[in-house]
């Protein structure tokens, strides 16, 4: 578990306009090993956009990843998210169960391509 203590972790929050978009985004993130776990919940959002009060049903994604994978995760969300300006909020994880953090590390390791 030594690796778990030497790495940094974060949770990234984003929203999607519906369940299908959220699941597509989550699937791509996990297939690319940009996160270890994504939880989703239906929410009702209120926000100002272009100076107008908006109300929308959305799905919030809580994405658990490592600092090492954050830049690639952000780039992926920016490319594949249906919104022009998606919510991408990075929250630091300051602690956690060592076994869980170790799992985050192993789940987000980039696969090494064997070209031989």
Domains of the chain: 2-108 (3.30.70.120)
Length of the chain, please?
116
HSE, side-chain direction, 13 A CA sphere, residue 15: 14
Rounded alpha-carbon distances, angstroms, from residue 16 to 24, 68, 103, 110: 10, 24, 26, 26
pLDDT (tens, 9 = 90+) of the chain, 116 residues, equals 444 444 599 999 999 999 999 999 999 999 999 999 999 999 999 999 999 999 999 999 999 999 999 999 999 999 999 999 999 999 999 999 999 999 999 999 987 555 44
pTM above 0.85, yes or no: yes
Q: Yes or no: say if 56 and 45 are a contact pair by the CB < 8 Å rule.
A: yes
SS3 call for 106: helix
């Amino acid at each position: 578990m030594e690796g778990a203590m030497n790495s940094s972790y974060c949770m990234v929050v984003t929203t999607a306009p519906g369940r299908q978009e959220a699941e597509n985004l989550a699937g791509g993130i996990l297939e690319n090993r940009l996160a270890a776990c994504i939880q989703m919940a239906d929410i009702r959002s209120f926000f100002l956009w272009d100076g107008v009060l908006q109300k929308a049903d959305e799905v919030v994604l809580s994405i658990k990843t490592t600092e090492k994978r954050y830049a690639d995760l952000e780039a992926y969300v920016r490319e594949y998210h249906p919104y022009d300006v998606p919510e991408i909020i990075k929250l630091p994880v300051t602690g956690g169960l060592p076994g869980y953090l170790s799992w985050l590390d192993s789940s987000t390791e980039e696969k090494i391509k064997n070209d031989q």
